[in-house]
Homo-oligomer: A and B are copies of this chain.
Amino acid sequence: MVKPDWIAVDWGTSRLRAWAMAADGAVLAEGSSADGMGALDPDGFEPALMRLVGGWLPDTGAPVPVVACGMVGARQGWREVPYRPVPCAPLGGGMAVTTADPRLSVRILPGLSQATPPDVMRGEETQIAGLLSHMADFDGVICLPGTHTKWAQVSAGEVVSFQTFLTGEMFDLLATRSVLRHSVGGGALDRAAFAGAVTDAMTAPQKLAARLFAIRAAGLLEGLPEAEARGRLSGLLIGLELAGAKPYWLGQNVAVIGAPDLAGLYAEALKGAGVTVAVLEATSMTLAGLGAARRGRGDA
């Protein structure tokens, strides 16, 4: 019988993930579902949450605190939680949501916004807070690769500025919905082809659309293997991003927070550009950040 001290929730556009947490930070149980924000109407959020965590709730007693981050706080989410403008600490405040079940006490964390250039994040601020909970003195740049990769400049415990790149979404669309889907397969990628394409894109970023089609042409004319084609596609897009994010990483202390495979690609590409990075696993940082919010650290 799981008896959580509190429940951690990472609620993104496509996935809902929940963890039953002990007071000492240990994970007692976990679950996930496809009930992402994008699949739910406003009145669908509490039932979706209960399907995952209902079995962890006691029959009586005080309600169990639930701390949630991510797109659940967007305009199309459970309840809109206004962005907090940078520069600011990654965590602050949050908004309580009234639930039909009295055993829940839900709080949704706010994302961050930036006025110039306009930018937003929801969820990554919690991972940044997780990193700071381990390394309070971190001063440098954090890269959070994903569907919408974020680069954040962090100093004195605050997010100073950040910039989002549509790289992951472009990769998914090109790999699965464009003419390149015939060329890149769905398997592993060739590391040498990846590294070469990173260099190509950083050297001549304006050639992107031509080099993308060249992957298809090389498949038709030369029988380019799928793993090499996939490596080139990934390398061209990540290389383009690194060229654009150079003002962030050049000469900086860089940490990459992400899923191991993807974070490893970014680390490899940055290493090729002469930058040494620390790689941190995304789920650990999310849980550490939600834990910090639970303890009230950094709250406004």
Interface residues of A (CB under 8 A from B): 75, 83, 113-115, 117-120, 148-149, 163-167, 169-170, 173-174, 177-180, 202, 204-210, 212-214, 217-218, 220-222, 237, 240-241, 243-246
The reply to whether B214 and A119 form a contact with Cβ atoms under 8 Å apart is: yes
With a cutoff of 8 Å between Cβ atoms, the chain B residues found around residue A210 in the complex are: 163-166, 241, 244-245
- Indicate if the CB atoms of A206 and B205 lie closer than 8 Å: yes
CA distance A114 to B218 in the complex (A): 10
Q: How far apart are the CA atoms of A169 and B125 in the complex, in Å?
A: 33
CA distance A173 to B152 in the complex (A): 27
In whole Å, how far is A210's beta carbon from the nearest beta carbon of chain B?
5
Chain B's closest residue to A147 (CB) is B179
Known: A170-B170, A209-B237. 14 other contacts (CB 8 A): A117-B214, A118-B220, A120-B221, A149-B209, A165-B209, A165-B210, A165-B213, A166-B180, A166-B209, A169-B179, A170-B178, A173-B173, A205-B205, A209-B241
A120 and B220 within 8 A (CB): yes
Q: Determine if A166 and B118 form an interchain contact, defined as CB atoms under 8 angstroms apart.
A: no
Contact B240–A208 (Cβ < 8 Å): yes
Residue pair B166, A206 in contact (C-beta under 8 Å): no
